[in-house]
Amino acid sequence: MTRSAVLAGIGSFLPPRCVPNAQLATQMDTSDEWIRMRTGIRQRYFAEPGTTTSDLAAEAGARAMKSAGLAEVDAVVLATTTPDRPCPATAPAVAAKLGLVGRPAYDVQAVCTGFVYALATACGLLAMSCVDTVLVIGAETFSTILNPADRTTSVIFGDGAGAMVLRATESDEAGQAPGNGTIGPFDLGSDGTGRDLITVRAGGAEQRRSCLTPAPGDEYFSMAGREVFRQAVERMARSAGAVLARAGWQAGDVDWLACHQANLRILLSLADALGIPENRVLANIAEVGNTSAASIPLALDQAHQAGRFKPGDRLLLSAFGGGLTWGSTVLTWPDLTHP
């Protein structure tokens, strides 16, 4: 018998404050038209001061546990770029908020690829019989690291959280065909030579808080948009292609392309590169912006809530982000009850 992971529940949470493009246009030199044309984004949500990443994560996690019909899980893995504190990790705080003190809980930092990396580590925990259920969360308060003077990043990112409960399943070698809810295989990669392309330069061991005044802007998130755009399409296309080959799927088998919501133009270019029609692309970026590690589970949960998936639908998940990092996996949609 081999142990593998299946999706058992899903949930998401957005903070209440919705910020339309027009509001940003009153604060910086931009326009609703530019943002919509270049990114596909119409609005995003920002957490109020006092609301932390662990607050959003715990809400999304509680909803995913409810969807799975579970009052407890055995472990919590949190993907985030915006932890509550630089030290310690945020996942133990999330576990505590969910009444899960004592369970293993840790963060995964792979920026916008974080959720795919977190899923992979959760599948490893299940496969190695460390635990029987894992709550995997992607949560961000990206608004806390945006530079209000940088229109190239401030109009793109938003806050939010999405979560999945995975549970272990036993199947014998003979009957290995991916069934409802099955996750994997994975393709993961990184290229640290590109770390300057998406970064917060100050606050770590390089530009230390204690002895240096950071160079102007270095305490904020920055991104070399045009180069990142090019690499995002190229890397995700290659990674998604690799995972399709590993899964034994063709592009025509994919019911939904559920990739990181970086930019609508990136989603459509990726679909084109993979030969997947536009109407198979899952896109909620217009309503929530780019929520980094939260974007894939948030998009999946919103589509689930809207009744867009049917059991057995085949999903291709792919992400690209800072590091640089990238990763892809496949998921067969389970028979989840609607809330």
Residues marked active site are found at 112, 260, 290
What letter represents residue 168's amino acid?
A
**Residue 74 is encoded by which pair of tokens?**
């055995």
Per-residue exposure over 206-220, b if at least 16 CB sit within 10 Å of its own CB, e if not: ebeeeeeeeeeebbb
**Residue 198 is encoded by which pair of tokens?**
């998406």
To ligand UT7, the closest distance from the beta carbon of 189 in angstroms equals 15
Please, what sign has the CA dihedral across residues 212, 216, 220, 226?
A: negative
- The kind and range of the H/E element at 162 are strand 160-171
CA 81, CA 295: separation in Å to the nearest integer? 12
Burial class, 58, CB count within 10 angstroms (exposed 0-12 / middle 13-18 / buried 19+): buried
CA distances from 302 to 13, 182, 242, 258 (A): 10, 20, 27, 12
CA 144, CA 86: separation in Å to the nearest integer? 13
To ligand UT7, the closest distance from the beta carbon of 159 in angstroms equals 14
β-sheet bridge partners, residue 161:
13, 139
CA 253, CA 221: separation in Å to the nearest integer? 38
Closer by beta carbon to ligand UT7, 229 or else 256: 229
Closer by beta carbon to ligand UT7, 9 or else 40: 40
- Main-chain phi, psi angles of 20, to 5 degrees: -75, 160
Which positions lie near ligand UT7, rule CB under 6 A? Answer: 30, 34, 38-39, 112, 151-152, 155-156, 225-226, 228-229, 232, 262-263, 266, 290, 320-321
To ligand UT7, the closest distance from the beta carbon of 5 in angstroms equals 25
Closer by beta carbon to ligand UT7, 46 or else 229: 229
Closer by beta carbon to ligand UT7, 39 or else 53: 39
**Residue 275 is encoded by which pair of tokens?**
């030969």
Closer by beta carbon to ligand UT7, 221 or else 309: 221
Locate the DSSP E strands across 227-287. Answer: 256-259
CA 317, CA 232: separation in Å to the nearest integer? 14
Closer by beta carbon to ligand UT7, 263 or else 332: 263
To ligand UT7, the closest distance from the beta carbon of 292 in angstroms equals 6
Closer by beta carbon to ligand UT7, 126 or else 228: 228
To ligand UT7, the closest distance from the beta carbon of 274 in angstroms equals 16
To ligand UT7, the closest distance from the beta carbon of 33 in angstroms equals 9
To ligand UT7, the closest distance from the beta carbon of 169 in angstroms equals 32
- Main-chain phi, psi angles of 12, to 5 degrees: -155, 165
The candidate with the shortest Cα–Cα distance to 106, out of 138, 140, 75, is 75
